[in-house]
Amino acid sequence: MIDVRLLRTDLDAVRTAQARRGKPDVLAQIDAAVALDTKLRDLTAERDALRARVNDLSKQVGGLRKAGKNDEAEAVMNESRALGETERQLQADFDGLQAQLRDVMLRIPNIPHVDAPNGGSDADNPVIKGPVNMPAAFGDHQRVPHWETATVLGILDNERATKIAGAMFTMQRGLGATLARALCQFALDQNADAFEEIRPPSLVTTATLTATGHLPKFADDAFAIERDDLWTIPTAEVPLTSLYAGEVLDEAQLPARLMAYTPCYRREAGSAGRDTRGMLRAHEFDKVEILAIATPEQSPTLLQELVGRAEALIAALELPYRIIEICTGDMGGSHHRSFDLEVYAPGCDAWLEVSSVSWFSDYQARRADIRFKRHGQKGTEIANTLNGSALAVPRVWAAILENHRQPDGSVRIPEVLRPYMRGAASMASK
């Protein structure tokens, strides 16, 4: 969440920055937060003054009793008890207002970076690089949707996946399953030079999912295990961000670089009927995530590094791609600045988002209470977090089948993946 002190010290700047998102409800939330914060501060002053009065009365009681003025001492004690009851009510009111303020603050999005482009929707996202590896023309054999190729090759069996788990689940078979695993191992290996591999839990608490900004806003898109108050993770970003929740890191530990392969679960509420064929949209998929916890000064350079690492993976797979920067009107609520990598899929005739790289400034770390201490300085500061999809399997898998489809219907496996494919150089029908 944003720092509530900004609403007290620089409200106009906050409103101006948030207005760039083009969402009037955000400004209404800011107004609500300001009103609640004002009430809280007034209540705090009243409560503290009352506490001071009670303490003063307690001292008077001792002096009166010492002087033998028991009747007067009893009267002062009665006044103190009455004030104590009032104080308890004020504390209850304070706790209620504080909970209301936290709820509103959790819903207010992050402040966009000054360099984030203005815009109202994804149509306004500027292309900052590419297209790269785009051929002059695609052959007719590449204009076949991946689900048709996968059916012929026998490497995708969504019909049986639906029988097993219901709609919007996918199941790869044979070399299709091997390809999915190969993509994940390739992404891990390519980032192992600088990132510590983690295998986090796939189930997390409400507090963990709240820390990244997925709750309360995206509760409808998450799978909840209500009996145990647990949630399936929508991305490894969630457990990796909270790895150091509630901790104070030394400045020398930063940036902390983490990566993880995990299954990811998303309800995809509101997406019924869209992209339901093939691999483009599913409730469960595999992904490798890279994440950094950093100082504010380290973050801009790290953002570009994460983008570069995601780009290198896609380029190595010999896929046509482009990089876009996300405008303020399309930016996620927790994002400070974001870039997407898109791969062109000729069979779908569409640009598919395959990686999103984002800088969250201190928004997530404040929710998770991740702090760091600078050398030679008193106190601590809220850290910054950044993360990126190193490689999300479904759309990359689909793009490989379409871009690397050969005239005879087989699919050429990119060379960088062949060491993970048990010697297979292509996928062909039996």
User: Which residues are catalytically annotated?
Assistant: 266, 281, 353, 356, 395
Between CA 86 and CA 333 the distance in angstroms is 40
Q: What angle do CA 420, 423, 425 make, to 5 degrees?
A: 95
CB-side neighbour CA atoms (13 Å) of 428? 9
Q: Residues 346, 143: contact at Cβ < 8 Å? A: yes
d(CA 67, CA 187): 81
CA–CA dist 162, 255 (Å, integer): 42
Task: Please classify residue 182 by burial: count the beta carbons closer than 10 Å to its beta carbon, then call 0-12 exposed, 13-18 middle and 19+ buried.
Answer: buried
Count of Cβ atoms closer than 10 Å to residue 337 Cβ: 24
CA atoms within 13 A on the CB side of 305: 16
**Enclosing H/E stretch for 117:** none
- Interatomic CA distance for residues 384 and 249, integer angstroms: 12
Contacts with 76 (C-beta within 8 Å, 6 or more apart), sequence order? 57, 60, 61, 64
Distance of CA 254 to the CA centre of its chain: 20
- Calpha distance 43→12 (Å, rounded): 24
Place of tokens 């005739």: 349
Q: What amino acid occupies position 117?
A: P
CB neighbours of residue 301 within 10 Å: 11
